[in-house]
Structure 1
Amino acid sequence: MFLHGTSRINDAGHLEIGGCDVTELKAEYGTPLYIMDEQLIRQRCREYMDAFRASGLGFQVAYASKAFSIMAMCRLVDEEGLSLDVVSDGELYTALQAGFPAERIHFHGNNKTPDEIEMAIEAGIGCFVVDNLVELSLLQAIASSKEVTVNVLLRVTPGVEAHAHHAYASTGQTDSKFGFDIGNGSAYAAVQQASDKANLQLLGVHSHIGSQIFETEGFQLAVERIADFTRKVKEELNIDFPVVNLGGGFGIRYVDGDTPLLVSEYVAAITDAVKTHFAGIGSSLPQIWVEPGRSIVGDAGTTLYTVGTNKEIPGVRKYVAVDGGMTDNPRPALYESKYEALLANRATEANEETVSIAGKCCESGDMLIWDVELPAVQSGDLLAVACTGAYNYSMASNYNRIRRPAVIFVQNGESDLVVRRESHGDIVVNDIVPERIAKKAVTK
């Protein structure tokens, strides 16, 4: 397994993250356990901020909280000076409860409800990213009723298909549930309508071409097409876009063969393209916003499991089961995502067998890793799966009524619990047995 951030193998032959031996973390917190490398998260935040400062352009780096949304993460992001993206009232509530400055919150989503819009307006968030004409009218009506003006970006699809590993990770093409298409004229019409609404302040446009992208050409082409669109809007409607949001999608290394660029390389390619293609449009270059999520937290996360049973099918494969699975990491089942792993309590031992890691759910598709090389695996061993910081905790479920794991931050030899492991009581806390059913049970 490739070791990220502060991860290393210590003298005892154990995996260590943030100066903490994972065998000791298991003893204190149990498994499954999400372990987040705080130093690496902060390093990634600073890489983005430093790269944009070096560009000389105005900018905002907004952490896409859908990747990993908890209060402690919101506080960390605020400390590092980033803005924050949310896509639901739950993510917004989390941010507000954490004390994140509302004026640095951007609200995304293709189907914001009236209640969510009201909540966001009352909180005083910095910007709405508007996805369709229904939302545009609804936002104007609610803002007008509250006698406020709200900032908006229009999400546009520039017709760029990112080289993503799975079709669901591409969002910038014409056939997408998101945004106004530039090519068919709907984006132009949306600009006209937005500019006519008295309670909406149109800041500019937003584009997101996909996820887990390992090259810059897609971003550069998106910049070029958005610049052409901006020029057309300026010349024909005399409308300026002071902000251009180019989204996220910057890739990370999950397995051997993944080839992400440095943060500075992504940012340099984007900002250089902006300087080239936006030159001469308006009196100044637009402020550039981006929305990294996975690339900030993805490789900072490790999930620790305890090995339980195994099943060997001679001549076929050996299954090794752990105490988690698709409930704490649904990405292999959803996207055929690949991961690397090691035996965290026997990390220096030579690999002896090829096994496939199965989860504990009553589901044939509950497989975490197919065909991984490990030492001879024994019940009670600790299996560490790397790069689980993004879209693991945030997509976790209670399928089979399995409790969601705890989350800890580690740094400088210390660990902090940031999300408690769910209890059995948590599983049934919202259940209600109607009185008519309860009475029948009692009388039998």
Structure 2
Amino acid sequence: MTAHPHLSELADQYGTPLYVYDLDRLDAARHDLFGALPEEFDVFYALKANPHVDLVQALREGDGRACRAEISSTGELAAALQAGHDPGTVLYAGPGKTPGELREAVEQGVRLFSAESLTDLEHIGEAALAHDTVADCLLRINDVTARAATGVRMTGRPTQFGIDSETIAGLAPRLCSVPGISVAGLHLFSQSNAADEQALIAEFEHTIDTAARIERELGVPLRLLDIGGGFAVPYGQRGERTAYPALRAALGAALDARFPGWRQGTPRLAVESGRYLAGDCGTLLATVSNVKVSRGRTFVIPDTGINTFGGLSGLGRILPVSVRVESESTETERVTLAGPLCTPGDTLGRDVEVPAGLRPGDLVAMPNTGAYGPTASLLMFLGRPAPAEAVVRSGDVVSVSRIEHVRTYRKVKRAHD
């Protein structure tokens, strides 16, 4: 890892819980992902992984090829715009876009949307017409079949995401005639966090086959094809980002067979990634608050829990978390790593191997925590302060920030007052 201020010094200066984001690691992830893809591909950064403006800006500005922004809310749109993104290059996705959000996005200049259903498409069209413009739409497809069995499955079952692939042929005339929209292409996202390269390749090959078939059924040439993502990185655990050395050639061969004009830009190609780009740039620092033994089991309780590192809190995606501890001891023990919240659900890991004899005041570090951190957590639960977030590059602290909880009051005048 690139040298940066000693983690314990940062913890002393800014307190804990503290996220430390290393922009050099972020640059390396972007470089590796673009390197694994044919040069004709665009990469959308999914802000849901981490909308911190410094990270979004670094992915847009960094040396080499820049990431575009993929958003799912007007809050993420605000972050993308603050980071310098041209709204005309932003992709707005998500199954529950409200009319108000769509109007705001179009007013801000967003012109590319992923439509999850016919009604979603109609709502996008209404917002575009209200601003006397036309919105380009990718039809998100929920494919009925899939090849790969690794990672988190995103298609092939009833879901709020995407238009069922088996219905496209019958819906094609209605999909292509919605006022205010132009069908620009397709958006397929079938799996997440696929560490097996051959499984990822098989899924992408299947996605490309599906896209070619749907293009024929729609009778509309594709201008943009987003084949999704699935690139893997450990989450809160020790380990390295997955490498994909065979992916570039495999994608090229699959696209040559189904879309002969793709190298000339027909269609343009894109993938999207959040976790892979941001995941290993982050380290979460926490201070041990308490250590207790209950009926033979040791509980180590740091000052961080699912309110800080929630992993989309309640979905069980964070177990087990691993920790690093600065210690000369070679002896270890297995403990339950429990957060400080008043709920038994606040458990970060069971049977976590740590140096023996942890005590209150000791500093622990949780690696690979750059994605799905504060904004995917129960930040407001129990009213605890949000963690501080420090951004570093090449040994220097770039910024330190904290999300603030603010309640806005409005007095309501009663009729008899």
The question of a shared fold, defined as TM-score above 0.5 by the shorter chain, is answered with yes
Structure 2 CA distance, aligned partners of 1:204 and 1:105? 15
Corresponding residue to 1:149 among 114, 117, 134 = 134
Structure 2 CA distance, aligned partners of 1:434 and 1:322? 42
Structure 1 CA distance, aligned partners of 2:346 and 2:370? 19
Structure 1 CA distance, aligned partners of 2:67 and 2:171? 29
2:202 alignment partner, SS class: helix
Corresponding residue to 2:386 among 391, 397, 404 = 404
Map Cα deviations across residues 248-283 of structure 1 (whole Å, 9 max, x no partner): 221113488979631444444434322233348999
1:259/1:157 CA distance change after superposition, 3 Å: farther
Structure 2 CA distance, aligned partners of 1:269 and 1:281? 14
1:231-246 matches, cutoff 5 A: 231=213, 233-234=215-216, 238-246=219-227
1:257/1:279 CA distance change after superposition, 3 Å: farther
Corresponding residue to 1:430 among 389, 397, 408 = 408
* Corresponding residue number in structure 2 for 1:358: 338
Aligned length: 406
Contact residue 172 and residue 218 of structure 2 kept, 8 A: no
Corresponding residue to 1:330 among 280, 287, 310 = 310
* Corresponding residue number in structure 2 for 1:136: 121
Structure 2 CA distance, aligned partners of 1:283 and 1:309? 61
1:130/1:190 CA distance change after superposition, 3 Å: farther
Contact residue 302 and residue 339 of structure 2 kept, 8 A: yes
Structure 2 CA distance, aligned partners of 1:130 and 1:434? 39
* Corresponding residue number in structure 2 for 1:247: 228
Corresponding residue to 2:57 among 75, 84, 89 = 75
Is 1:122 aligned to 2:100, yes or no?
A: no
Is 1:194 aligned to 2:175, yes or no?
A: yes
Corresponding residue to 1:349 among 329, 336, 345 = 329
1:155-234 matches, cutoff 5 A: 155-158=140-143, 159-160=145-146, 163-164=149-150, 169-182=152-165, 184-185=166-167, 187-215=168-196, 216-231=198-213, 233-234=215-216
Structure 2: runs of 5+ lacking an equivalent: none
Q: Offset of 1:366 from its aligned partner?
A: 0.7
* Corresponding residue number in structure 2 for 1:12: none
Structure 1: runs of 5+ lacking an equivalent: 7-17, 440-444
Structure 2 CA distance, aligned partners of 1:265 and 1:282? 18
1:320/1:194 CA distance change after superposition, 3 Å: same
1:139 alignment partner, SS class: helix
Map Cα deviations across residues 338-386 of structure 1 (whole Å, 9 max, x no partner): 222121x42x431332222110000112111211222220111001011
Structure 1 CA distance, aligned partners of 2:413 and 2:265? 67
1:394/1:268 CA distance change after superposition, 3 Å: farther
Contact residue 62 and residue 82 of structure 1 kept, 8 A: yes
1:67/1:255 CA distance change after superposition, 3 Å: closer
Q: Offset of 1:84 from its aligned partner?
A: 0.5
Structure 2 CA distance, aligned partners of 1:89 and 1:298? 23
Is 1:34 aligned to 2:15, yes or no?
A: no
Map Cα deviations across residues 384-404 of structure 1 (whole Å, 9 max, x no partner): 011111111221221111111
1:247/1:35 CA distance change after superposition, 3 Å: same
Is 1:60 aligned to 2:58, yes or no?
A: no
1:190/1:33 CA distance change after superposition, 3 Å: farther
1:257/1:285 CA distance change after superposition, 3 Å: farther
TM normalised by structure 1 equals 0.83
1:381/1:266 CA distance change after superposition, 3 Å: farther
Deviates more, 1:81-90 or 1:253-262: 253-262
* Corresponding residue number in structure 2 for 1:10: none
* Corresponding residue number in structure 1 for 2:365: 384
Structure 2 CA distance, aligned partners of 1:255 and 1:34? 12
Structure 2 CA distance, aligned partners of 1:416 and 1:283? 40
Structure 2 CA distance, aligned partners of 1:379 and 1:134? 55
Structure 1 CA distance, aligned partners of 2:261 and 2:45? 30
Q: Which is richer in helix? A: 1
Corresponding residue to 2:288 among 264, 288, 307 = 307
* Corresponding residue number in structure 1 for 2:31: 46
* Corresponding residue number in structure 2 for 1:13: none
Structure 2 CA distance, aligned partners of 1:281 and 1:19? 42
Q: Kindly, what percent of the aligned residue pairs are identical? A: 27
Structure 1 CA distance, aligned partners of 2:99 and 2:236? 42
Deviates more, 1:34-43 or 1:120-129: 120-129
* Corresponding residue number in structure 2 for 1:22: 7
Contact residue 149 and residue 199 of structure 2 kept, 8 A: no
Map Cα deviations across residues 57-100 of structure 1 (whole Å, 9 max, x no partner): x3210101100002212211210311010001111112123322
1:418/1:249 CA distance change after superposition, 3 Å: farther
1:256/1:111 CA distance change after superposition, 3 Å: closer
**Alignment RMSD:** 2.8
1:35/1:312 CA distance change after superposition, 3 Å: same
